[in-house]
Each structure stands twice: as C-alpha cells, then as structure tokens.
Structure 1
C-alpha cells in the first residue's frame, strides 16, 4: 500500500467528521472520530519506511486513545484522555529533542510562555479541581509548540494549532465564551495539528538523510 492511500482516507474521513459536527449528525461524528488517528498512524508508518517510526506512531496513537476517552462525558474519562494526550506530547518532545538546541526555540519560548500564563489565568477561576492537571498538561502542550519551532515550519504550525485546539476545549470546561461552531474548529485544528507534526517529523528525517550524518538518531530514523 502506498502512503497516499491512508492519507487520502484521512482527508475524506476528516471532511465527513467535520460535516457531521456542523450538521449535528452525532452518530456519524461518534463513529468517524476514532478512525482519524489510526489512519494518520498508518500513513506515518508507510511514509517512514524502511525506518521504524516508533515514537512518531506512539505520539499519534496516544492521540487516538485521548480521542476515545474524550467521547465519554465523565470527569474520569476526561482525565484519562488528558493523560493520553500528555503522553503523546512527551513522545513528540523526545522525537523533536534536537529542536531545543536551536536559536528559534529560545526566541519562541518567551511568547509561548506568556500565552500559556495568560490562558491559564483566564481558565483558572472556572476549572476548579482540574486546576493542577490542566496546568501541567497545558505546560506540556506549550512545550511541544516551542520545541516544534526548532524543527521546521510544518511542525511549528502543527504545535501552534494543537495549542489552539486544546485551548478551545478548555474554555468549554471553564464556561468561557466560545466561537460559533466550536466543535468543528476544535477538530479541524486538532487533525491539522497532528498531520503537520507528523509530516514535519517526516520532512526533518528526509532532510537529515539528504544532508547525511550529524543528525540526532531520534530524527534521523523518526524513532
């Protein structure tokens, strides 16, 4: 199977899922959501061959676990979903470890720190007992966005979109104002974020292979 096949399937299922959210087709939205990250994982595996993209697949599949948990309307499920996404961010950060050593990350760290602090301050009064887990998770989320800046433009945009998507989710928990069609925006930015982080990692691996040597093992083999 060529990598283009699951990628096309991902785009189609994403379009159906977003349409279902917009039109309140709840059953279709519920069925299509758990299909998104497995399709992205298959694409990543095929596109990375002959490398074994273990960390990259782990990051994406942690997102899949988070998607499944967040389908259930319970605090325990929400915390489990947050934990799964947190594990995915750790995978991305290890995968993008070389990004911490770039000047771009040092520059990006300040505005992202300000965004993190500002968003957390806005959420704080409304999230009650979730304050500590949300603070920790949002810090991991911002760290992924920062380190992705040091990899390439695709990864940087992906990290920023992930931050936007999860911030929109958090505003609902804190009962803050949200834009119309917020569920569509959450999923559109989320799928785009995961796709760009994955393709950013694959692009970095390809560039490392082209340059030959000198690239840290984590990115040179996307694992």
Structure 2
C-alpha cells in the first residue's frame, strides 16, 4: 500500500512540475505561482510514505521554504530564501555523512580526489566570475552559500551516480539564478531552465538517497535470511 501511495504522490509531483514548466514557457505567471509551492511538499510526502529518512524530508521542506520566498522579488525575501536553501543543504550534508558510501570500500581515492578538485575549481571559477557584478551586500552571502552548495553536491557523489547528478544539477540551477542576480547574459526564459534543473535535481537526490538505502537493506535482509536457515 505504501508503495502504491508513493507512486501516486510521485505522479502528482511530476504533474505539478509539468504544469510549472509549461506555465513558465508560456509566460503564465499564475500557473507558476500555484504549481511551484506544490513541488517539494509532494516530493517530501513521497519520501515519508516510502519510509525515507527525516533529514531528507527536512531538506525538501527547506527547499519548499526557499521556493515560496523566491516567488517574491524583494531583496529580503531573496536572502531569506537563500538561507532556507542553505539549511536544506546542511540537512543533505548530514544525511550523506550518516549514509556513507554505497560500497563498503567507497569510491577509489584517486576518483574522489579528482571529483573534489573539479568541484573546487567550479566553485572558485563561478564566484570569481560573478563577484564583480554581484550587489555589494550579496557578495559574501552568495560566496558562503556557494561553498555550502558545492560541499552538498560533492557529498551527494558518495551515494552514487544518480544522487551525484542531482547535486550537480542543483549547482547548475543556482548558478543560473546567480547569473541573473549579477545581470549576466542568460538563456531565453531563464526561469524555465532554473526550475527544470532544480526540480530534476531534487528528484534525483531523492531517488539516489532512497536507492542507496534499498541497496544497503537488501544485503542485510539476505544475511538475515541466511542466518535464519543456518542450523
């Protein structure tokens, strides 16, 4: 029954995402205003029904707070929204630390070093390029947030490709937001690309976390079955 309800909630999340993206593509602001705040609560409810970790639910609800706050164009709302997203990244980091790598021996050290270096370069390049054009009062908060976001994205790679891709897309989504704040050139319909990468990022992070938990529980269940059949 929980699996069935989980599929229904995931379907509702997908429908809300489609409505939001179509509304953004069509310039229908009312549709975006209604659909955007539904995304993370539906995804969080899916996690609850599936028995997912509380930290994952908390991360998604922090994302919901940021989503609602960023519907406003006020500077104070932007800072509060960034703070809410930052709290979500802290939840993700705690979750990744507690989960550990998918394989017992983890990723090879060389691969981990390359990934860490790549994310560090991406952070430095992004902040360096945007820094001169950011409003003076946002430079330090954006730099601090970017550091936290990069740490989350790198931490997601501990759980495998799916979660790692989700973390990378989250970085891309927020980089698109930052280019807008810095008045840098953007793609047509920038909000569409921001929401597309953001919704995909949160979905992939959820799939990656739930998938890693399933991968760990299967060997434990098999070990328990073997013990129960051992004379």
**TM-score, normalized by length of structure 2?**
0.87
Partner of 1:15: 18
Report how far residue 117 of structure 1 moved. Answer: 0.4
Q: What's the counterpart of residue 216 of structure 1? A: none
Structure 1 residues not aligned, in runs of 5+: 214-223
Q: How does 1:19-58 map to 2 (within 5 A)?
A: 19-48=22-51, 53-58=53-58
What are the residue-to-residue correspondences of 1:67-86 with 2, within 5 Å? 67-86=67-86
Q: Deviations over 1:29-53 (max 9, x none)?
A: 11111000000001111122xx6x2
Larger relative contact order, structure 1 or 2 (CA cutoff 8 Å, min sep 6): 1
Unaligned runs of 5+ in 2: 222-231
From the CA coordinates, give the structure whose radius of gyration is larger. 2
For residues 105 and 212 of structure 1, the distance between their equivalents in structure 2, rounded to whole angstroms, comes to: 26
- Secondary structure at 2:119's aligned position in 1? helix
1:111 aligns with 2:118: yes
Alignment of 1:1-223 (within 5 A): 2-48=5-51, 53-97=53-97, 98-99=100-101, 102=107, 103=109, 104-127=111-134, 128-212=136-220
Contact 1:105/1:146 (<8 A) preserved: no
The answer to whether the 8 Å contact 1:105/1:147 transfers is: no
3-state SS in 2 of match to 1:150:
helix
Mapped partners of 2:161, 2:48: distance in 1? 21
Matched residue count = 210
Paired residue secondary structure (2:87): helix
Separation in 1, partners of 2:209, 2:46: 13
- Give yes or no for contact 1:69–1:81 (8 Å, CA) kept in 2: yes
SS of 2:159's partner is coil
1:211 deviation in Å?
Answer: 2.2
